[in-house]
Amino acid sequence: MLYGSAKALLHHLLKEDRFPTMN
């Protein structure tokens, strides 16, 4: 449950920041 939220948040941050680390 929390994992999904954290994953979504991380994905959003990564997508917004466009991190080349996680692609």
Tens digit of pLDDT for each residue in 1-23?
678 888 888 777 766 666 565 54
Q: Is the pTM of this model over 0.85?
A: no
Which two three-digit tokens encode residue 8?
């979504």
Which residues does 14 contact at the CB level (< 8 Å), separation at least 6?
Answer: 22
The pLDDT of residue 16 is 60
Q: Rounded CA gap, 11 and 13, in Å? A: 5
The pLDDT of residue 4 is 80
Using the structure block, give the residue that is written with the tokens 């948040």: 9
The answer to whether 22 touches 14, Cβ cutoff 8 Å, is yes
The answer to whether 1 touches 9, Cβ cutoff 8 Å, is no
